[in-house]
């Protein structure tokens, strides 16, 4: 017979399996790849992770040398928090991130495992808190299936054994859901939500506008009584974010909190390809148009790209140029973004394993090889269809059994993440949505089993 003790045992068992998985992956991949080109990459610390570790080492060295916290580090190109967490881990545990700082050679001594254990611990502790909350609203068996999904679903699970930024963000998402599900009229709860929302932004930029679905949820549930709690959320979220701006002001003499990657990402993905498709010209010709426009703007505005202040102006230009291009060709943009978003939803439960196993930067990439297209992609589509079918069934079978305001919270949170990340055409960016969809998965699976009298 299912009881709460068994669900706690499930969470503990999943945490233990996560630790074992991390040990296995570190043992096998904490080394440099066998390269087929001139590139040298660590099998685990590659992609966008090296920048986090390099920034983390810089922050640690600056603090040791006597610089203040706000003056430490350099221009953070991506999210603010990940390099500071790595620096904190390195400092507290006296762990050397690099074997050779000059050549940027990462340590391969397997001691980085403890960081993975800590992030797994935080995640599974958040599941304990989440279970205590959802137990008030859902039947025990539904809670069990929700926790099975969040604990062991491989698309989520393997991130706890990697140094990507997702695992800690998942933890924040779950704690946020736990806080939002009830008693949101309380000011102390709103303060906590505001602080957590600020840290979610510091961990992943996608959270910057999450106040929008939160506000809709508050106003739907509390009506005008939700205005004051919302103001507290905005105030304390702004205070957290302002620390980033103040740090940049102290370090570089310019106040800003949105890192460069948030402004140039659209430019990396869209202007050239949209112009090419809309104007029916070669991609190379479209790239030349974009580059010529860029050079003219740089000359006209006398931009010095060695100056951080000028780079911020330049990044703003890239963002504005990209948005203007999308608005100039709305139909082409809509078609292209919709297709990319649809592809993003094809889950990849072995993404982290593939990331570690395959050589970074190899041409062609492993996902462009015939074997991957013939075997892996059909399997991924099949897996995704099964999962989404259960989730969709769960949604339609619980329209009345789940409170309307909770439906709004789950659906708006999912739609928000999809809107901000879906166009990237990378299944990795879809995974945060699964945190919210887990509710419908749990209900769907439970209701399906009930139909079969199981």
Residue 50 has pLDDT above 80, yes or no: yes
Residue 454 has pLDDT above 70, yes or no: no
- Backbone φ and ψ of 100, nearest 5°: -145, 110
Asked if the peptide bond before residue 7 counts as cis, ω within 30 degrees of 0, the response is: no
Residue 385 has pLDDT above 80, yes or no: yes
Task: Point out the least confidently predicted range of 80-84, 353-357, 423-427.
Answer: 423-427
Q: With cut-offs at 50, 70 and 90, classify the pLDDT of residue 44.
A: very high
Instruction: Check residue 118 and give its pLDDT.
Output: 97
- Backbone φ and ψ of 42, nearest 5°: -70, 140
What does the pLDDT look like over 172-199, one tens digit per residue?
Answer: 999 999 999 999 999 999 999 999 999 9
pTM for this entry:
0.93
- Backbone φ and ψ of 73, nearest 5°: 85, -175
Residue 109 has pLDDT above 80, yes or no: yes
Residue 251 has pLDDT above 90, yes or no: no
Choose the most confident range, by mean pLDDT, from 24-38, 73-87, 223-237: 223-237
What does the pLDDT look like over 112-138, one tens digit per residue?
Answer: 999 999 999 999 999 999 999 999 999
Residue 350 has pLDDT above 90, yes or no: yes
Check residues 263 and 441 and name the one with the higher pLDDT.
Answer: 441
What is residue 28's three-state secondary structure?
helix
Residue 14 has pLDDT above 80, yes or no: yes
Cβ 448 vs Cβ 393: under 8 Å: yes
Instruction: Check residue 423 and give its pLDDT.
Output: 84
- The label of the residue with tokens 């203040």 reads 68
Q: Which residues pair with 98 in a beta bridge?
A: 106
Could you tell me which of 220, 175, 212 has the C-alpha nearest to residue 195? 175
Separation of alpha carbons 363 and 407, rounded Å: 44
Could you tell me which of 20, 27, 17, 15 has the C-alpha nearest to residue 356? 27
- The label of the residue with tokens 């809709």 reads 216
| Token representation of residue 389 | 């079918």
C-alpha 146, offset from chain centre: 20
Residue 37 has pLDDT above 70, yes or no: no
- The label of the residue with tokens 């749990």 reads 442
């Amino acid at each position: 017979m299912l009881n709460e003790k068994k669900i706690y045992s499930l969470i503990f068992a999943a945490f233990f399996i996560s630790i074992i998985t991390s040990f296995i992956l570190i043992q096998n991949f904490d080394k440099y790849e066998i390269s087929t080109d001139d590139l040298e990459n660590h099998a685990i610390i590659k992609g966008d992770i090296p920048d986090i570790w390099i920034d983390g080492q810089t922050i640690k060295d600056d603090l040791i040398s006597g610089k203040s916290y706000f003056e430490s580090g350099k221009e953070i190109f991506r999210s603010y928090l990940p390099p500071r967490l790595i620096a904190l881990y390195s400092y507290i545990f006296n762990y050397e991130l690099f074997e050779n700082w000059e050549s940027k050679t990462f340590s391969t001594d397997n001691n980085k495992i403890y960081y993975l254990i800590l992030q797994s611990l935080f995640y599974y502790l958040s599941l304990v808190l989440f279970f205590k909350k959802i137990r008030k609203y859902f039947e025990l068996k539904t809670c069990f299936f929700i926790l099975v999904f969040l604990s062991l679903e491989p698309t989520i699970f393997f991130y706890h054994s990697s140094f990507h930024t997702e695992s800690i963000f998942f933890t924040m998402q779950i704690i946020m859901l736990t806080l939002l599900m009830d008693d949101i009229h309380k000011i102390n709860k709103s303060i906590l939500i505001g602080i957590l929302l600020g840290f979610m932004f510091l961990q992943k930029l996608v959270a910057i506008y999450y106040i929008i679905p939160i506000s809709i949820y508050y106003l739907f549930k509390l009506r005008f009584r939700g205005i004051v709690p919302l103001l507290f959320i905005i105030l304390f979220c702004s205070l957290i974010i302002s620390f980033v701006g103040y740090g940049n002001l102290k370090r570089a003499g310019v106040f800003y909190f949105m890192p460069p990657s948030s402004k140039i990402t659209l430019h990396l993905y869209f202007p050239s390809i949209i112009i090419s498709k809309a104007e029916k010209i070669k991609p190379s010709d479209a790239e030349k148009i974009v580059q010529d426009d860029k050079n003219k703007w740089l000359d006209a505005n006398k931009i010095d790209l060695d100056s951080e202040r000028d780079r911020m102006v330049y990044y703003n230009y890239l963002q504005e140029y990209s948005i203007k291009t999308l608005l100039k060709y709305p139909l082409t943009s809509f078609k292209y973004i919709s297709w990319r978003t649809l592809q993003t939803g094809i889950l990849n439960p072995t993404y982290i394993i593939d990331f570690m196993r395959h050589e970074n930067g190899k041409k062609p990439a492993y996902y462009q090889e015939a074997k991957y297209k013939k075997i892996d992609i059909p399997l991924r589509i099949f897996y995704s269809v099964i999962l989404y079918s259960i989730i969709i069934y769960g949604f339609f079978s619980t329209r009345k059994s789940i409170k309307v305001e909770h439906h709004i919270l789950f659906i708006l949170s999912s739609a928000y993440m999809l809107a901000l990340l879906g166009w990237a055409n990378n299944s990795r960016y879809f995974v945060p949505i699964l945190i919210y969809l887990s509710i419908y998965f749990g209900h769907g699976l439970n209701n399906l089993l009930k139909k079969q009298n199981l």
